[in-house]
Amino acid sequence: MSEFKIGQREAENVSILELKGYLDAHTAPKLEEAFQGLLKSQRYRIVVNCRDLSYISSAGLGVFMAFIEDVRNNKGDIKLTNMSPKVYNVFDLLGFPLLYEIFKEEKEAVTRFFDRTK
Amino acid sequence: MKLRRLILLGAAFLLVIFKFALDVVEKNVELDLMGFGLIRELLVIASLSLLYFVIDALASRRESTPLRKLGFVLIAMCAMILVSIGLSVSGVGGFDTKNQALVPLDYPSIFLASLAAVAFGIFSIVVFRLLRDLILINRKPAARRNWLIFSALLLGTSLSCLTSRPLDSSVATAILFSFSILFAVMNSFRLPWIVYLTKREKLFSLACGFFLFGGFTALAVQIGTSSLLRKSLLYYSHPLFQFTQLVAIFGALYAGMAFVSTLFHLPTAEAFDRKRSEVSSLHTLSKLVTQVFDFNELVDNVTSMTLQVVGASSCWLEIITAAPAEDGAGASDDGSYAVHVAAMKNIAQEEIDMLVSAERRGIRDTVVNERKAIVVDDIEHDARFVHLKKRRGVAGSLVVVPLVAHTGLAGILYATKKESFGFVRDDVDAISAFADQATVAIENSRLIRESLEKERLYREMLVAQEMQKRLLPQHVPSAPTIDLDAMSTPAFEVGGDYYDFMELGEGRIGIAVGDVSGKGVSAAFYMSEMKGIFQALGRICGSPKEFMVKANEALADSIDKHSFVSLIYAILDSRSGRLTVARAGHCPMLHISGETVAYVRPNGLGMGLSRGQTFDDAIQEEVITLVAGDVCVLYTDGVTEARCGDDEFGYERLMEAARGAREKTAAGIKVEILETVSRFTEQRANDDDLTLVVLKWNGAERRP
């Protein structure tokens, strides 16, 4: 039941992770792996597209927390986009909007990286 | 039983005496009566029949091995030869031939003829009975049929000359006789017992066969040619003569066949012995595997049986403690493994270390990677054993068999022989079979260890569960103005949900509900830490926000990066109904006031997510003043995220459930919500920790 998939692509030097399905304690290691892979290849500009993410648990939220420090120390960021209202509510309850930039559209997040660098 | 046999024996003896008397009478009074001869023959038949019953009873009384039976046949035969020799050296007159009949020349002749004939009769019956047992050892229908036909023919041949004179020969007798011989030959092929003899027993059987063949042939010739023995037997009884003659011939045939057959079985005797000990060892071993849980005893048995069965000069068994990765077949790049010798026979650890080098590409590595048995025929000239060049004579040949379990490689079984080319294919097969048994044993002991460990962990978890229950409030605070109830159940044995109450003085009551990210043991540890923080800081913090800020600081040092705690903390003034709520990333509080239902959701951030100013700024307080009948529900996401397929219980359903039950007591509302959740999830076990605190406001105290 708890199927979880991650798609990864590159757009204008920004790495985009597309999450699909249920992100909970069982599937969190998959996302951890994906982040580790990006950090290993020194890709610190990361956009996580949550369009197809149907559920996120506290263990799933924890994954973002585990990597944000490293990413920001390397002048990068993790930006979140395209959340369904339900998923956004989970992020919002915990106060994630205070810690992460959350966008409606992926494109906004990508261009945001370049606004900053200018 | 014994008495009956004695009576039979006595009767037979009397009949023999009576027959002797008749013989004596016949010599004196020349009665050439047909009837008289017949009476004599009937007496003989009757006495021998009685004797047969006695012998039959004795023979079937106890179980005996084929070889013992063969031995008894030999004894009976020797006795017959002794009787025959005794007769020929007795120097009695003998018999005269007269009108196809035999006339004894003196009384001693009659006496000795009777004695010899009775002895021959008895021993023939013994031989007949014993050979029957040997032939019918495995009771095949064909064997039984052939034996019955042979017995019938034997009897028929004997009885066919019941009325004929001693030297008469009838056509019928001759025909029956030749058929008897035919079936004697057929029956002499029945030698099923030879196959199962050990080599030593086969040698004994060979000797027996040889002497029996010689002895019975001599007897058959004696009886067949015109000797004193022949005449004595014929004189005494023609049927008895036929019977003994046929038994002697049959004995000679059977012994001859046994001799030849054993001779042919002799070369394979050793292999057969080995196979048999192999099978019985495996049998013993597989019994041990299921009965004995002492691992050391089992591997000890495996090695000693290997030693015994294949005749190895040394044998040892190594257990692999860290098996290489399962996937990369043969290509274990970093497939490091450790071995330890679980059992060794006739070899010391140093010798093992020397023989099987621990270096890469050693014989052990090859077996570990390829998982196939390896036979090293000639250690001295084998490239893999160059490191042994200086030390000769450690071993000549070596067999290495992997213990392949379905979970991976369990160990390796080694056997050596002093001589090179010492192991044949059968040896390798046998060692492999033992290795398989050892594998099962190792697997079994591993499973038992695991289940014991599981059992231990389970008990530990039960203890932890009990401990955690104690961390939750044992009773709820009470005040005339409030009705409070709470519950919490972990999804597993322990969980990360937390709730607590604290009386802060001046009628103020603190109510906290929290949730640690993740589940199980790690969550439980943070939960207990939360309890400590709340108990330490709750009393000294005047407002929920102050508590949150201080608690976050306290927690930040110990919590790991990807864990956090969400908490909602409300302080109620039980005199005025003023409720101050702060929320650190936790689910909003449900507030029901009359028909109005709303979630109280002050801004906030989960604890452990950020420290310092960000957190402090994020936390806000919201104050509501309760009116009589108001209900507040604090809960964890186990309630709102309770699942039914893809659907979640959600905030709407919680609202509806609480609103519907708002007239009930706090306990009633709690039960109503839980039942609604349970109905929604269709009674499946909740997959998240679930906590519920219900506060009902009865109205402010009216002061006089």
Give, in order, the Cα–Cα distances in Å from B427 to each of B267, B281, B430, B597, B644.
Answer: 18, 14, 5, 84, 62
| ipTM score over 0.95, yes or no | no
pLDDT value at residue B238: 85
* Helix, strand or coil, per DSSP, at residue B541: coil
Residue of higher predicted confidence among A1 and B198: B198
What separation in angstroms does the CA of B630 have from each of B476, B499, B624, B657?
18, 21, 11, 15
User: What is the Cα Rg of chain A in Å?
Assistant: 13
C-alpha span between B504 and B534 (Å, rounded): 12
Residue-level length of chain B: 704
Nearest Cα to Cα of residue B186 among B254, B248, B102, B95: B254
Distance CA B432, CA B536 (A): 66
Taking CB atoms and an 8 Å limit, are A93 and B519 in contact across chains?
no
Tell me if chain B has a CB within 8 Å of the CB of A62.
yes
pLDDT digits (tens, 9 = 90+) for B76-113: 999 999 988 888 888 777 787 776 777 777 788 888 88
pLDDT of residue B532: 93
For residue B563, the chain A residue with the least C-alpha distance is A62
| A54, containing H or E segment | strand A45-56
**pLDDT value, residue A118:** 44
The SS3 assignment for B516 reads strand
Q: What is the mean pLDDT of each run of 10 residues along chain B (704 residues)?
A: 83 86 75 69 87 84 82 91 87 74 79 88 91 83 90 89 72 88 90 84 91 93 84 86 91 92 85 80 77 76 84 88 50 62 85 70 79 85 70 76 85 88 85 85 82 92 90 90 92 88 92 89 90 93 94 89 92 93 95 92 92 90 94 93 85 93 93 93 79 91 54
Mean pLDDT for A24-33 is: 89
What are φ and ψ of residue B167, in 5° steps? -100, 0
- Whole domain around residue A25: which residue ranges? 4-113
pLDDT for res B569: 96
pLDDT in tens, B592-649: 998 899 999 999 999 998 888 889 999 999 999 999 999 999 999 889 988 888 788 9
> Is residue A118, in this structure, part of any structural domain at all?
no
* Sheet of B565-573, strand order: B497-505, B508-516, B565-573, B578-584, B621-625
CATH number of the domain that A86 lies in?
A: 3.30.750.24
Gap between the Cα atoms of B161 and B187, Å rounded: 24
Which pLDDT tens digit goes with each residue over B42-70? 888 888 888 888 888 887 776 788 888 88
Q: Is residue A58 part of a domain?
A: yes
Is-contact A36 A68, C-beta < 8 A? no
Q: State the pLDDT at residue B328.
A: 40
pLDDT grade for A3, boundaries at 50, 70 and 90: confident
The number of distinct structural domains making up chain A is 1
Residue B31: per-residue pLDDT: 58
Task: State the pLDDT at residue B568.
Answer: 96
What would the pLDDT profile of A32-55 be if each residue is shown by its tens digit?
Answer: 999 999 999 999 999 999 999 988
pLDDT of B179 reads 92
Q: What tokens were used for A47?
A: 């956009």
Among B545, B567, B562, residue whose Cα is nearest residue B496: B567
Measured between CA atoms, the residue of chain B closest to residue A28 is B518
Which residues on chain A are in Cβ contact (under 8 Å) with B646?
A: 54
Residue B332: its pLDDT value, please? 41
* Same topology between domain B295-450 and domain B472-697: no
The answer to whether B221 and B249 have CB atoms below 8 angstroms apart is no
**CB-CB under 8 Å, B564 with A58:** yes
- Spacing of C-alpha B235 from chain mean position: 67
If you search the block for the tokens 């605070």, which residue do you land on?
B477
Domain B295-450 has CATH 3.60.20.10: no
What's the whole-model pTM score? Answer: 0.59
Q: Least CB-CB distance to B618: which of A69, A86, A95?
A: A95
Q: In whole angstroms, how far apart are CA A70 and each of A45, A112, B72?
A: 12, 19, 96
CA distance B265 to B271: 10
Residues in chain B whose beta carbon is closer than 8 A to a beta carbon of chain A?
515-519, 561-564, 566, 584-588, 603-606, 609-610, 614, 618, 637, 641, 646, 648, 688
| Cβ neighbourhood burial of B346 (10 Å; 0-12, 13-18, 19+) | middle
Determine the pLDDT at residue B343.
Answer: 87
In this structure, are residues B229 and B222 in contact, taking their beta carbons and an 8 Å threshold?
A: yes
B499 and B468 Cβ atoms separated by less than 8 Å: no
The pLDDT value recorded for residue B327 is 43
Q: Is the pLDDT of residue A2 over 80?
A: no
CA angle B547, B551, B557 (to 5 degrees): 160
Fold of B472-697: Phosphatase 2c; domain 1 (3.60.40)
The domain segmentation of chain B, as residue ranges, is 65-266, 295-450, 472-697
Nearest-CA distance from A57 to chain B in Å? 8
Cα–Cα distance, A32 to B581 (Å, whole number): 35
CA separation for the pair B566, B563 (Å, rounded): 10
